[in-house]
Structure 1
Amino acid sequence: MTALTASIERRAGGFTLDVSFEAPPGVTGIIGASGAGKTMALQTIAGLGRPDKARIALGDEIFADTAEGISLPPDKRNIGYIFQEARLFPHMTVAANLDYGAKRRGPGAPASRGEVIDLLGIAPLLDRHPASLSGGEAQRVAIGRALLSAPRLLLMDEPLASLDIRRRREIMPFLEALHERLRLPVLFVSHNIDEIVRLADRVIVFHGGRIAAEGDVGEVLNRLDVQGLILGDAEDDSPGTILDARILQHDDADGLTEVGGRGFRLVVSKLASPEGATVRLRLRARDVALATEAPSKLSIQNVIEGTIRRIEDTGAGQVSVTLETKDGGSTSVHALVTQRAARLLGLAEGMPVWALIKSVAIAGGK
């Protein structure tokens, strides 16, 4: 399968971007604080900015190689680029906007016009003009136009950032459907951890123009040092834990689903996916309480037993507590408690505790 390889050095003012990474087919999430160089990297890959030094290739096709004097113009790179704003042609109908993308169509299209329209649910919009569309509808059309150009690489630069919460929820299932349908490299830039957790197969963390971490979504984003680099700039600045789980069984009578992984079982609102399907969960540290004795007769149904591995002072009167699950530490859970609570409970490393999970966010399938 064709992968993107990029090695980029680019200076702008007092900022220097110096990154090297690979993006295989599937969704590679790129996250980092504002000014970390995320958009600059995408623009350089697309040919919209001149690097000081670079080698960018999609499989055997070289987009740019400064050492060899190679630099393909943007229209020769066969890349689909989705911006924060839809950037549709206002004088054209939705159908005409889609047809414009199809006119630029290259070989090996990932989906036909009809398939793209069905996939994005935009059939009812075809006769309308962009001014009459909601933000979420316009972004779906923009994605459709990009897909109909038959890109070999898709760049998505915070495509949900300009949408309100309602519109983001509206468009997210369509992005998940794209993830399942397309097998081409996709770079998805976002400030939002939940978006990365829900959509990405792997993640790259940008910080100060460099790559601070990359790899499996859970392994990277569960690191507290990584969370410290990105959470202060994110909409949801709550540290937390990402868990990979499998759907164990559905309880139709109570509208619940039991999911489980190494060292834990949790009950969540009923999921549409079948038993055996995999999901990612996000537990916000602020939604995890701790008990030093096995709890009973609680309204909170989700409890994980474990041992305290680390206690860290986070300032502002709080401490971060990391516990290993009872199965031997293959799963870690982060909790955020006040210094006063930690002192009254006598929390210490090596101590057995029970984590009471007040809220579980289903971040999506894998």
Structure 2
Amino acid sequence: MKAAILTGGGDCPGLNAVIRAVVRVIANNGGQTIGFLEGWRGAIEANYIDLKPSETDEILPKGGTILGSSRTNPYKDDNGVQKIVDNMKSLDLDALIAIGGDDTLGVASKLYSDHQLPTIGCPKTIDNDLSSTDFTFGFDTCLNTVMDAVDKLRTTAESHRRVMVVEVMGRHAGWITCFSGIACAADAILVPEQEADLQDVCDRLAKRREDGKHYGIVMVSEGAQLKGEGLVTQDAELDDFGHVKLGGIGRKVARIIEKRTGIETRDVTLGHLQRGGSPSAYDRVLGTRLGIHAGRLALKGDFGKMVALRGLEIVGVPLAEAVGTMRTLYPEFLDEAGEFLK
């Protein structure tokens, strides 16, 4: 068995845990593993490094990815797909394990269906919005990073009697916003799944101030929308997968709250801070388990699958079923959070 690994899209804690586990499983069965550098770009350019257990055993606690990443889309690159097909043959590869989110795994799924390339997917995103898996690695670490940041912001908000609006990632789904909002006892949670009524938020903040709470915390997803308005974007330029660059809704919400309530309001955008740092224990274990089972699927020749967490088990699900549809925040979580948002 000779397998290749790549990591695509935004980085997140736990990627190196997956890489380490795949390399170990393949090596334990007498195989060899290489790593394409910078996502699909490396697969197109045949730019890779050899991966051995002795060189990857200590990468478990490291954030990011030792292979580098990019948002390269082979289907947007001249002859990109054919180059990958040719490189798989010239490098004598038996399997290609793609670790990424919906865009990266969407490419892996198309390569399998269109060209019968032996691909396997591993779900990665701090947004936790991939279909067919209960949780993605990176999400837990992200939540702890957001929680730590908000706990620090709370002290200055309370000291200065301010409202702090915290903008977090979440283009299509509000998993980060809702879970961190619950963990941080937020006064308002604005998510992409439902239009936000800022007058309701302002009334709630004013009422809580009257009741003796002299500060407020408002959590907002970058992809949240205010009633009657569209997405707030930084510019109209699209990436290779057709996404606009979001950002700025936190500042807009803060200005509206201050204008309507008269309460001094500040905004903080956590941005890429949410992707960084060493993975939590949960993400180290989940990434390791997913990597082990991705390696085992490769050894069995069970391609066109994505490894997924279902309950406490790791299972293989068809890649085609796992991509293309965002897994938005379940309504029951918003309902539960709502008990504290009245």
TM-score scaled to structure 1, two decimals? Answer: 0.27
> Which structure has the greater CA radius of gyration?
1
More strand by share: 1
Greater RCO between the two (CA within 8 Å, min separation 6)? 2
More helix by share: 2
TM-score scaled to structure 2, two decimals? Answer: 0.28
